[in-house]
Structure 1
Amino acid sequence: MDLVLRAPRVITAEGEVSRAVGVSGGRITAIEPLDAVLSADRVIELSEDEVLLPGLVDSHVHVNDPGRSEWEGFETATAAAAAGGVTTIVDMPLNSLPPTVDPEALAVKRKSAEGRVHVDVGFWGGAIPGKLDQLPALHEAGVFGFKCFLLHSGVDEFPPLDPAGLAEGLRTVNEIDSMMIVHAEDSDEIARAPEVTGGHYADFLRSRPRGAENLAIAHVLDEARRTGARVHILHLSSSDALPMLAEARRDGVRVTVETCPHYLSFIAEEIVDGATQFKCCPPIREAENRELLWRGLADGVIDCVVSDHSPCTPELKRFDSGDFGEAWGGISSLQLGLPAVWTQARARGHALADVVRWMALRPAELTGLRHKGRIEVGADADFCVFAPDEAFVVDVAKLRHRNPVSAYHGRPLAGVVRGTWLRGREITGEQPFGELLTRP
């Protein structure tokens, strides 16, 4: 074998066990008792305070490259991912220029990423007005599915779908056996809400009411019932929607759901005025809402936890004015998802195996990457060496993200990533060797 990792604590399908894990040719080829005789070119002995996890899969990342690489970029995004135990990301189709809405734009993005990625990278396609005829060609080119908005996306080059466009898009993705991933907030409801100006977080929260999310999700579920299409609800923040999502799934609607570390970590009551680093859409809501999202995870209504890493330059956060109406909406957290979720999960009695299911196994299943997100024979040898009981305080100056902006700055977190391995090779950050993935 090329490599054997001997770990007193490993997260596998059996839960947390002691195992020796053997690797050959970038794949896991043996999972044996800890004291099994396995010979290899290199043997790594993990300590008692370390747990061997599968590399995480983050299916919601805005790399913003090419076109807005001053916001992030492939080198910094994937280096940050690796530092956070993430070995696979799937890049969103917007905020880059051009947006990934046809095969030519996908080719531009892939060329921009070639030779610059420290982890494996796949790509979502975009579904926008005037480009829905491009969905089959993008599907054939290897995108993992299609993202759409139901209201203004924040950038003019990625406009939203109206109800007729959503229906057409869902019919197409059903025909080609793909999936529509939806930013679900209702544009009319947002238009009726009070407009936010100034630095009061409470005003911003009123400008993005739960009702806008709930109405949009109900509409998506109705169209999914009618068309039979597979749909995925992005970054769920409104716990009000959990009962209808559970009911739709019981009725056979093909729907999956994600939420994000910031909705599971922060609460509106603690966000001070002018703290625009916390602005995201949909917004961080109240403490009671957060606990209901945790219950949705425990009950299986919410499938996975992914970052929605949406970075920008410090100037775009408008720290000079603290104006929530003017500031860019997005949380920068790609490197911090694992400790952020683990900190909150352990306080609620969840085990590391639960976190692995939400942040590795389920996102891999969502994207069809069956060889990712698990420690089992035949899977890619993607690993995260995690010290769950070691604590640290987040310092944005020490993160690998391009810009030193994060809502987590100064926050104490539990769990430190001590090493990340991609297909049996340790990621050092010196020479990128990640691969560009296509739909299986």
Structure 2
Amino acid sequence: MTRVAPTISLLMLALVSLNALHQVEGTCSLHPETKFLIHSKRIVTPNGMIAGTVEVSEGKIVSISVNDGDLNADLLPILDFENCVIMPGLIDVHTHLNEPGRADWEGFDTGTRAAAAGFWGGLTPDNAHNSSALTELLDAGALGLKSFMCPSGINDFPMTDENDIKASLPVLAMYKRPILVHSEVPQPSEEQEFSLEQRRKYSTYLNTRPATWEREAVSKLVNLASDTIVGGSAEGAHIHIVHLSDSGETLNLIKEAKVRGFKLSVETCPHYLSFSVENIPDGDTRFKCAPPLRSEENRKKLWNALINGDIDFLSSDHSPAPPELKLLEAGDFLGAWGGISSLQLVLPITWTHAKENGVPLEVISKWWSSMPAKFANLQNKGSIEVGKDADFVVWDPETSFDVNEDFQIFHKHKITPYSGSRLFGRVIATFVRGQMVYHEGHHALSPCGRPILASVTENSVGHHFI
């Protein structure tokens, strides 16, 4: 039996911090009706923002009426969210819940709290050259594979090189599913000893993990991606670069590969768009991640690339760990676990900075819903359209809140570099297939999530992206 590596990423609807409605015992919804109307003056659809009403029946969107022209509220109960924004549920294609294996780090219960879950299988040197092992994993419904081109930090998930990834591409091409790659290749360097004072400086950590690591990895991946063009030996395969940090030469390589028709895509994360090395306090290891946060100039260039479409969409790369692994007391950036917790906050984090850049709500929905759904081939999700799953996030973009000791964080471990931040965009409610799983600070008593697995019949359907 193929062992699935424990670093499992999750496709997830927005996890939110949101006065409970009545919940019927035995259900997973705070709203007891399975047929109802949901109304707002601001609903984000593929055709733009509308004022209107969405009709939901048995978990599906069955009609959408603009300005209530066809609304008959006498026939169905209505949830009126007035001027709050209704968007498609968020889809996070890259988040570490560490279950099975390390549920004490997070786990599905605290990590999802009512999310719809799917999984990525792990590509390791043990299975990369074994097509039957990969076939077994993909037949089990893995939406794709994830690999590291550098040490992952845990022995259960060893790193791969370009030869391992190359060996997997023909199998992925047959199934038309992507491989997600942590794209850093360590470069030879002299061993150095650092004083504790030096180890407490973020710049020390940054210098040990320069942008050349990303550039080298992406250069190798671009060479492999040349086989994914029409007529290539790996046509149908798709290489996806996770958590891009370098907005310089690495991004240029990606842009050039796309122009040449290679099946290559890229994401970045809210922390790379929020923080820069100039503002990280000495010893504050909450900010450690890999690839590292870089300069303010680099941060601004990432925003430009995202807005211009050179970066395809966003993910959280939520990567929690028990507090003792963050070495907060010592403040040792070189020894601390690298990973930033933000799963619950990604929508307000994104919006807080996006509105400063003049980004409209429709584009936020594209980055967090429609493009990730397309990437993961989730044909029933990612947009508010008739026939799609009734997955919604209801939120107030004009309301701000402080991430402080009074703010309720649902992650298992509450350590996050966003503590002390003021964010805009308070989430009011979340719906998963028509079930209200969260409302104003209350979760449904039982989970609604179900696995989202790729169907073997999708081999002939194809995986389409960009």
TM-score tier by shorter-chain length is: 0.7 to 0.9
1:357-372 to 2 correspondence within 5 Å?
357-372=366-381
- Hey, what does 1:60 align to over in structure 2? 94
> d(CA) in 2 for partners of 1:59 and 1:195?
38
Give the alignment's TM-score, normalised by structure 2.
0.83
Query: Does structure 1 residue 51 correspond to structure 2 residue 59?
Result: no
- Check conservation: 1:193, 1:209, Cα contact below 8 A: no
- Hey, what does 2:247 align to over in structure 1? 239
Query: Does structure 1 residue 331 correspond to structure 2 residue 340?
Result: yes
What's the offset of the Cα at 1:281?
Answer: 0.2
SS of 1:22 mapped into structure 2:
strand
> d(CA) in 2 for partners of 1:126 and 1:237?
22
- Hey, what does 1:124 align to over in structure 2? 120
What's the offset of the Cα at 1:348?
Answer: 0.5
Query: Does structure 1 residue 413 correspond to structure 2 residue 414?
Result: no
1:433 corresponds to which of 448, 451, 456: 448
- Hey, what does 2:54 align to over in structure 1? 21
Opposite residue 348 of structure 1, the aligned amino acid is N
What's the offset of the Cα at 1:284?
Answer: 0.8
Query: Does structure 1 residue 424 correspond to structure 2 residue 423?
Result: no
> d(CA) in 2 for partners of 1:422 and 1:178?
25
- Hey, what does 1:277 align to over in structure 2? 286
Residues 78 and 293 of structure 1, relative CA distance in 2, 3 Å threshold: same
Greater RCO structure (CA 8 Å; 6+ sep) = 2
Whichever of the two has the greater Rg, that structure is 2
1:315-371: CA deviation from partner (whole Å, max 9, x where unpaired): 110012000111000000000000000000000010111111001111111100021
Of stretches 30-39 and 57-66 in structure 1, the one that deviates more from structure 2 is 30-39
SS of 2:348 mapped into structure 1:
helix
What's the offset of the Cα at 1:192?
Answer: 5.8
- Hey, what does 1:298 align to over in structure 2? 307
What's the offset of the Cα at 1:193?
Answer: 8.6
Of stretches 223-232 and 151-160 in structure 1, the one that deviates more from structure 2 is 223-232
Residues 192 and 237 of structure 1, relative CA distance in 2, 3 Å threshold: farther
Query: Does structure 1 residue 219 correspond to structure 2 residue 227?
Result: no
1:230-260: CA deviation from partner (whole Å, max 9, x where unpaired): 1000000000122221111110100111000
- Check conservation: 1:72, 1:401, Cα contact below 8 A: yes
1:18-66: CA deviation from partner (whole Å, max 9, x where unpaired): 1110111101010112323234542011122x11111100111111122
- Check conservation: 2:53, 2:71, Cα contact below 8 A: no
> d(CA) in 2 for partners of 1:325 and 1:24?
53
- Hey, what does 1:76 align to over in structure 2? 110
> d(CA) in 2 for partners of 1:247 and 1:195?
39
SS of 1:60 mapped into structure 2:
coil
Opposite residue 34 of structure 1, the aligned amino acid is N
- Hey, what does 1:308 align to over in structure 2? 317
Query: Taking every aligned residue pair, what percent have the same amino acid on both sides?
Result: 39
Supply the RMSD in Å over aligned alpha carbons: 1.6
> d(CA) in 1 for partners of 2:255 and 2:213?
19
Residues 163 and 242 of structure 1, relative CA distance in 2, 3 Å threshold: closer
> d(CA) in 1 for partners of 2:71 and 2:191?
65
> d(CA) in 1 for partners of 2:374 and 2:290?
25
SS of 1:427 mapped into structure 2:
strand
- Hey, what does 2:30 align to over in structure 1? none
- Hey, what does 1:42 align to over in structure 2? 77
Opposite residue 365 of structure 2, the aligned amino acid is V
1:3 corresponds to which of 36, 57, 64: 36
1:378-417 to 2 correspondence within 5 Å?
378-395=387-404, 398-417=408-427
SS of 2:424 mapped into structure 1:
strand
SS of 1:224 mapped into structure 2:
helix
> d(CA) in 2 for partners of 1:345 and 1:289?
16
Opposite residue 47 of structure 1, the aligned amino acid is E
- Hey, what does 2:202 align to over in structure 1? 201
> d(CA) in 2 for partners of 1:188 and 1:271?
25
Give the alignment's TM-score, normalised by structure 1.
0.88
- Hey, what does 2:138 align to over in structure 1? 139
- Check conservation: 1:4, 1:38, Cα contact below 8 A: no
- Check conservation: 1:170, 1:224, Cα contact below 8 A: no
> d(CA) in 2 for partners of 1:76 and 1:61?
13
> d(CA) in 1 for partners of 2:247 and 2:389?
35
What's the offset of the Cα at 1:194?
Answer: 6.1
> d(CA) in 2 for partners of 1:167 and 1:294?
31
> d(CA) in 2 for partners of 1:232 and 1:51?
31
> d(CA) in 1 for partners of 2:193 and 2:209?
9
1:146-161 to 2 correspondence within 5 Å?
146-161=145-160
Residues 171 and 193 of structure 1, relative CA distance in 2, 3 Å threshold: farther
Of stretches 180-189 and 333-342 in structure 1, the one that deviates more from structure 2 is 180-189
> d(CA) in 2 for partners of 1:160 and 1:239?
24
Opposite residue 81 of structure 2, the aligned amino acid is L
SS of 2:251 mapped into structure 1:
helix
- Hey, what does 2:183 align to over in structure 1? 184
SS of 2:199 mapped into structure 1:
coil
- Check conservation: 1:6, 1:19, Cα contact below 8 A: yes
Structure 2 unaligned spans of 5+: 1-33, 228-232, 456-466
